[in-house]
């Protein structure tokens, strides 16, 4: 009897994102706090056929060979020496290119699902290496915690105990922010400004008040300058009275924290009507989504 597993791939927001400078390998040294949120793609994964197959609903994500979920499955098969194929069905809800980590989360979900289906055919360290090679955000989605500090390219992770569930409003402006362009704009802006330095993060935050003191995204001003829609999203969230309003990743999604579910829902409904964009009321996660047998 064939086994099929289902798994949710949650989005993330960055509660802190400092770009500390370029590295010798062409990437940038980062310091970021990841928080998973209840805004998810849905996947089913099974061992079937003799190649990797992907069926996507909900969005056109371009060529299948470029999809991170497919690349994750191919890498897993190669490292595990797995001869059977992998069939993936992906219901896409997280917008692509929004700074919410949707593609990376999909890749991590596939890796977790294949570990489950194969009885952990790939050692944990090798799985982490696969994740890091796929993308800078993938290791977070593999780390087993919904809250983590990441350094390096994102692969140097310190999972943190989850904070109490908080309510979040996410605004998705209808623009695509290319990560490379955001880094280039940030580099140009720093010709006359001070480069970011490491935050004081000797201990994990124990409450949201301590996170507010750290909250910052080095991309925010340069991305907002280049994309008026991003600036409008940030201003709309702030004018709604939300707290800790920020850009996520290199954008274009922006988010803010409400005082409760009712405020989050009413704010999301109003901003959606006013802006005509996708706006979602959701919450932070206090645990990683589990894998379910179908």
* Percent of the chain as helix, strand, coil, to the nearest 5: 35, 30, 35
Q: Is the pLDDT of residue 1 over 60?
A: no
Phi, psi dihedrals of residue 136, rounded to the nearest 5°: -65, -25
Question: What digits encode the pLDDT tens for the residues 138-147?
Answer: 999 999 999 9
Candidates 3.50.50.60, 3.30.70.890, 3.90.1150.10, 3.30.300.90; CATH matching 167-283: 3.30.70.890
Nearest to 61 by CA among 9, 7, 97: 97
Parts of the chain belonging to CATH 3.30.70.890: 167-283
CA dist 237 and 203 (Å) reads 30
Percent of the chain with pLDDT strictly greater than 70: 93
Of the residues 12, 106, 218, 280, only one is catalytic, namely 12
Parts of the chain belonging to CATH 3.30.230.10: 4-160
Give catalytic status of residue 262 as yes or no.
Answer: no
Residue 219 DSSP symbol: T
- DSSP three-state, residue 45: strand
CATH top class, domain 4-160: alpha beta
Of the residues 38, 137, 218, 280, only one is catalytic, namely 137
Phi, psi dihedrals of residue 101, rounded to the nearest 5°: 75, 25
Paired residues of 57 in beta bridges: 91
Q: Give residue 26's pLDDT.
A: 65
Question: What digits encode the pLDDT tens for the residues 228-263?
Answer: 999 999 999 999 999 999 999 999 999 999 999 999
- DSSP three-state, residue 12: strand
Please name the residues in contact with 128: beta carbons below 8 A apart, sequence gap of 6 or more. Answer: 139, 142, 155
Average pLDDT value for residue range 18-38: 85
Give catalytic status of residue 137 as yes or no.
Answer: yes
Return the HEC string of 51-81. CEEEEEECCCCCCHHHCHHHHHHHHHHHHHC
Question: What digits encode the pLDDT tens for the residues 191-233?
Answer: 544 455 566 677 889 999 999 999 999 999 999 999 999 999 9
Q: Is the pLDDT of residue 25 over 50?
A: yes
CA dist 56 and 162 (Å) reads 31
């Amino acid at each position: 009897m064939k086994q099929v597993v289902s798994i949710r791939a949650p989005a993330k927001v960055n509660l802190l994102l400092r770009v500390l400078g370029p590295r010798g390998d062409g990437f940038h040294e980062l310091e970021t706090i990841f928080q998973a949120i209840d805004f998810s793609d849905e996947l089913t994964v099974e061992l079937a056929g003799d190649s990797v197959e992907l069926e996507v609903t909900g969005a056109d994500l371009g060529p299948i060979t470029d999809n991170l979920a497919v690349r994750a499955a191919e890498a897993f098969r190669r490292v595990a020496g797995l001869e059977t194929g992998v069939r993936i069905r992906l219901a896409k809800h997280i917008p692509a290119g929004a700074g919410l980590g949707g593609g990376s989360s999909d890749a991590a979900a596939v890796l977790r699902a294949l570990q489950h289906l194969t009885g952990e055919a790939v050692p944990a360290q090798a799985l982490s290496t696969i994740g890091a090679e796929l993308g800078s955000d993938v290791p977070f989605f593999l780390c087993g915690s919904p809250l983590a500090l990441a350094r390096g390219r994102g692969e140097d992770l310190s999972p943190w105990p989850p904070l109490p569930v908080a309510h979040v409003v996410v605004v998705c402006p209808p623009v695509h922010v290319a990560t490379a362009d955001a880094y280039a704009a940030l580099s140009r802006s720093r010709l006359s400004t001070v480069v970011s330095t490491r935050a004081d993060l000797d201990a994990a935050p124990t409450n949201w008040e301590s996170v507010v003191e750290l909250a910052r995204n080095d991309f925010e001003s340069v991305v907002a300058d280049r994309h008026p829609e991003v600036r409008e999203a940030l201003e709309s969230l702030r004018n709604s009275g939300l707290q800790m309003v920020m850009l996520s990743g290199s954008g274009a999604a922006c988010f803010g924290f409400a005082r409760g579910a009712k405020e989050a829902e009413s704010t999301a409904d109003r901003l959606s009507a006013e802006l005509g964009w996708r706006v979602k009321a959701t919450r932070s996660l206090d645990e990683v989504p589990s894998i379910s047998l179908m």
